[in-house]
Structure 1
Amino acid sequence: MTPERTERNLPRILIIDDEAAIRRFLHTVLPADEFALYEADSGHSGLSVTAAVRPDVVLLDLGLPDMDGIEVIARIREWAPTPIIVLSVRERESDKIAALDAGADDYLTKPFGVGELLARIRAMLRRAQQQIPEPVFRSDDLEMDLEKRRVVVRGETVQLTPTEYDLLKLLVTHAGKVLTHRHILNRIWGPAYLEQPHVLRVNISNLRRKIEITPTQPCHIITEPGVGYRLL
């Protein structure tokens, strides 16, 4: 449990993976002056370390020797909002959806790029630090004022329908996090629409036409194929 890097004010990253080679690799590529690393080689030990050190981000493999990673996610979510990034060889959409629906915040398939992993970790840390959402969200040319219910793109106010506004607000308040189709459908339209993904696709398409420079090559609302959407 003792971290290799002991700087007291650094963000605490917990690696839960039974492969020693992966743990060594992450110790090598995660900057020593940026993170304090902890590790666990099983689900049960991972839960114990999570409770003991309260990590800022958990990097979790799904194929653990004593329990499935999905169960680890669910157990952590019973008491902690800790950001969880899944690192797994499982490539099936159903596995990604199951992990995200269980409470994971992000999902990377092994092998993954170091730069992408660092970007995802830093995004999780920024979001976790914002306990109370800022009234004004800004990302490049997009601005959303949650108090005034106003959306501005490239300096011009954009008129959204109530549904489009609620959809964008949901994405904004979870910026950087992958939201599954079912999660979005349930939050915006309710349980009766869980099996009607075309409703979501149509509204995402309409929303992109209003906020993206090139709707067919979006830079704000990113599609996670077969899984859901993420707002950058």
Structure 2
Amino acid sequence: MADVLIIEDDATIRTALVRALTARGHSAMTSPTAMDGLQSLVAHRPDVVLLDLGLPDLDGSALLAMIRAVSDVPVIVVTARDDGAEIVSLLDAGADDHLVKPFAIDQLEARIRAVLRRTTTTPATGPLVVGGLVIDARARTVTLDAEPIDLSPREFDLLHHLAERAGEVVSKRQLLSEVWHLPYGGADRSVDVHLHWLRRKLGETAEAPRYLHRVRGVGVRLAAPDAATGAPADGS
């Protein structure tokens, strides 16, 4: 069961969520404003945050950035805004999942279970090593040739996902489903953008790849420089 922090300004919704979550064995605390929520996060270190976007003192997207500056806690955005572009932006900024109001409590509980599975899974074999890359999922750190690389949460998740499948070609459809947790569609451009940023931080380009190789019409493959053979690569 999870300790859940609900950051929501609507008292009726707060009460309903607390009642429903506690009935399912979770513990729940609430905050009606962004700054109160941030203070509760730091003080109580919950397992999951449910974050409403329409807060009275600060937009939830701004609070998300503040949360990510101090914590890797899973954040599920709960919003009445059904804007696909905004949702993609929030996921790129570090949200782990989202729900559009109104929603069933069973949906919320399933999302909580899913984000906890993703964030509490302990790597069985320690850090992943691909050539000079070392990806440590426990510490969420990456080094390249013993030098640390500063990645955003989404960049880290993308690189870790590819490293778990080093040498394999992974499609955009798979990445959107398994890293972004989105259906394939208009959001696939987000994969290209993040691969571009990731290449820059790895000191390479699509035209001269070392680790990240795009396979035309198929997907992308992460491989150590001396193992990067196979299908030809091209820019994204």
Considering the TM-score relative to the shorter chain, is it more than 0.5? yes
Which of these residues, 75, 79, 82, is aligned with residue 70 of structure 2? 79
Post-superposition Cα deviations, 1:95-126, rounded to whole Å, max 9, x if no partner, equal 21232122111111100122111100011111
Question: For residues 133 and 80 of structure 1, do their structure 2 counterparts lie closer, same or farther at Cα, with a shift above 3 Å needed?
Answer: farther
Listed one character per residue, the Cα deviations across residues 61-116 of structure 1 (whole Å, up to 9, x for unaligned) are: 00000000000100001121111101111111232123212211111110012211
Match of 1:186 among 186, 193, 199: 193
Alignment: residue pair count: 172
One-letter amino acid matched to 1:184: V
Question: 2:188 is matched by which residue type in structure 1?
Answer: H
1:124-170 CA-partner distances (Å, limit 9, x unpaired):
111121143779xxxxxxxx9x76858xxxxxxxxx64xx3798578
Q: Aligned partners of 1:58, 1:115: CA distance in 2, in Å?
A: 17
TM-score (norm 1): 0.61
What runs of 5+ residues in structure 2 fail to find an aligned partner? 127-160, 207-213, 220-236
Partner of 2:59: 68
Q: Is the 8 A contact 1:105 1:178 kept in 2?
A: no
Distance in 1 between residues matched to 2:74 and 2:189, nearest whole Å: 20
Q: Which runs of 4+ in 1 moved over 6 A?
A: none
| Aligned CA-pair RMSD | 3.9
Contact 1:58 1:83 in 2 (8 A): yes
Q: 1:92 aligns with which of 73, 83, 91?
A: 83
The residue identity in structure 2 corresponding to 1:58 is: V
Paired with 2:60 and 2:2, the residues of 1 have a C-alpha distance of 23
Counterparts of 1:133 and 1:73, CA distance in 2? 30
Selected match of 1:26 from 8, 17, 26: 17
Aligned to 1:52: 43
Q: CA deviation at 1:35?
A: 1.1
Distance 2:10 2:122 in 1: 34
SS in 2 for 1:30: helix
> Residue 112 in 1 paired to residue 93 in 2?
no
Residues 114-123 or 66-75, more deviating: 114-123
1:28 offset after TM fit, Å? 1.9
Aligned partners of 1:70 and 1:98 also within 8 Å: no
Distance of 2:125 and 2:171 partners within structure 1:
17
CA displacement at 1:36 relative to structure 2? 1.1
- SS of 1:112's equivalent in the other structure is coil
Aligned to 2:121: 130
Question: Counterpart amino acid of 2:192?
Answer: L
1:35 and 2:42 aligned: no
